[in-house]
A and B are shown apart, each in its own frame.
Chain A
């Protein structure tokens, strides 16, 4: 045991003050670094935003041609071209994210309620590690399973030849599609939601549930009307976190979404679900080799800045939403 461990009356800063200052400074540096990240990315992205203005987010023209022109202008050292209208990418991101969250939310809620309240002990003991395992399977493995199992299945069994023929001049329906992307993304984000929901549901005060039971309300209704209602902030927080994850998923989506900057059109009916697309994050991965072209670099950083900003906003919303739950002792 060190002599240093004990308080000693003396001049200058005490050991505690030094430690507090040191740790505080460290935290300050880390926070500063994260803010620097925002500044760095926006700074690199600025030419692309400045040139396109609000049209950056809008539709117009062929994205393939725009990207090719941007890359070429940089590699041939000509006057840089920045024209870029990202709507197809944004639309794809919205469709895939909303689709996956819409399926994952009810499923996760039922599973979380099941784990906390209704599962027999042996099944609960299985489900908890399973949730943790699915949350930690690397996205590239999900992507591999998607591209070798799900995509060929959709391409060979769900899409008919006539459907393929009907859109041949515009796009190819290979199976790499909205449907595949949404299905796999659902499995990827559900564990995140379940983990957050379970933490919240566990913290519901016992007395509230017992009060409802004492009034003769059955177990299911009690938990649904009292338990789930209490944790509404947690439901918002978990959903928002999962949305941020879904939006930022790049690797898996670049493997199964088709990597074609095409905007799927709901008017196409059933084919809509089989249409390929390319979400924002996957676009960055898809074009990493073009980073040596300065205008393309600015464009990719612009995409990064949009993702950075939206996921930061979502995290902030999630963090704010679950603050009311602190009084039940939920920190997660």
Chain B
């Protein structure tokens, strides 16, 4: 129940009908309704459009075959490798972003001294959230072209390629990081201080309190942040194009089983869609639709997960 409606309940029979509403107020309220419904309509249109087009073009075969360069929809195969690439990149990026993000959030919320560093860190994370992914990708390219980091990608004739799963995941983790930090921090700050004090009173140290009381209590926030961050990571295209190579299939750096693959180049669903859109080099819109459908399903699943966690944590224990 909203503040104003709670206050007016019983005073006025129905919001928006009293004679106190002037014409401008009515127009404003009408606009609010209009924009709200329009926004829902746009979302529904996008989702339904991609579901319909996706179902039209999605065949089981495209999920289990690899992309082949070709000129017609029947020749170009499916997108098994890009799909696996999305999973690999997402897992690797979040494996970096979650521990790092939680650590930063704990420091910002529980320690935060010296204050100057806390201020700088806070605004730096904020800046990172607003940084265009394409600029991060350019930075990643210079970073991973350094000879010291050559072991993370391929080296030919003394030149470091700088494109690999390692490079892409490292930079994509920066895309997911702000989400993890912001949500974890919000979760930690929502825990009242008497909970901490109770733990200190039992003789626990600050870090033990954080590990055993605060972080478990903030777990829904950490999960929410992780899922939102993962959504950003698997939806990113610029970093994939520049740092993963966008080579459609996996191209291992050498024959070492896992390491060779991760040092090699590859692609993800977003890169595949970009390549197969009419503006890309592949231009196979049907394949792009099918891949967009799969990507859309992943995004929808993540959103559903967030909704579940949020609604569940609302019902969870209250502190006071």
Contact = CB atoms under 8 A, between A and B. Distances in A.
Residues of A in contact with B, size category = 35 or more
A328 interface: no
A247 interface: yes
B182 interface: yes
B242 A7 contact: no
Contacts of A314: 130
A328 B124 CA distance: 23
Interface string A14-31: 111001100110111011
A190 interface: yes
A318 interface: yes
Interface stretch (A48-56, A65-73, A80-88, A115-123): A115-123
A3 to B, nearest CB: 10
A172 interface: no
A239 interface: no
Interface stretch (B72-80, B251-259, B273-281): B273-281
B87 to A, nearest CB: 15
Contacts of A27: 103-104, 107-108, 117, 121
A117 B143 contact: no
Interface string A206-235: 100110010011111111100000000000
A139 B135 contact: no
B285 interface: yes
A279 to B, nearest CB: 11
A166 interface: no
Contacts of B234: 138
A138 B29 contact: no
A83 B24 CA distance: 55
Given A111-B32, A209-B7, A221-B25, A141 B185 contact: no
Interface string B163-201: 000000000000000000010011001000000000000
Interface string B1-42: 011110110000001101011100100110111111001101
A129 interface: yes
Given A138-B299, A147-B278, A285-B241, A247 B25 contact: no
A88 B106 CA distance: 45
A322 B87 CA distance: 37
A105 to B, nearest CB: 12
Interface in B130-160: 130-136, 138-139, 141-143
Contacts of B236: 138
A41 B232 contact: no
Given A118-B32, A209-B3, A248-B131, A16 B104 contact: no
Given A110-B31, A250-B132, A285-B134, A139 B8 contact: no
B92 interface: no
Given A127-B36, A218-B18, A220-B25, A30 B100 contact: yes
B303 interface: yes
B299 A133 contact: yes
B207 A19 contact: yes
Among B130, B242, B289, residue most surrounded by chain A Cβ atoms (within 10 Å): B130
Majority secondary structure, B binding face: helix
A59 to B, nearest CB: 24
Contact of A127 (B21, B40, B131, B235): B40
A316 interface: yes
B134 A248 contact: yes
Given A16-B205, A318-B130, A216 B20 contact: yes
B232 A136 contact: yes
A147 B279 contact: yes
A40 B135 contact: no
B135 A7 contact: no
Contacts of A284: 134, 138, 238
B55 interface: no
A319 B134 contact: no
Given A6-B203, A300-B138, A251 B237 contact: yes
Residues of B in contact with A, size category = 35 or more
Interface string B115-133: 0010011111011111111
Contact of A288 (B33, B34, B242, B296): B242
Contacts of A319: 122-123, 126
A164 B133 CA distance: 35
A255 interface: yes
A14 B2 CA distance: 48
Nearest to B285: A148
Contacts of B143: 40
B221 interface: no
Contact of B39 (A37, A111, A139): A111
B316 interface: no
A312 B128 CA distance: 8
A296 interface: no
A141 B50 contact: yes
B143 to A, nearest CB: 7
A144 B40 contact: no
Given A24-B111, A218-B25, A311-B131, A149 B49 contact: yes
A240 to B, nearest CB: 9
B300 interface: yes
Interface of A: 2, 4-7, 14-16, 19-20, 23-24, 26-28, 30-31, 34-35, 37, 40-41, 44, 107, 110-111, 113-119, 123, 126-127, 129-134, 136-141, 143-145, 147-149, 187, 190, 204, 206, 209-210, 213, 216-224, 241, 244-245, 247-251, 254-255, 259, 281, 284-285, 288, 291, 300-301, 304, 307-308, 311-312, 314-316, 318-319, 331-332
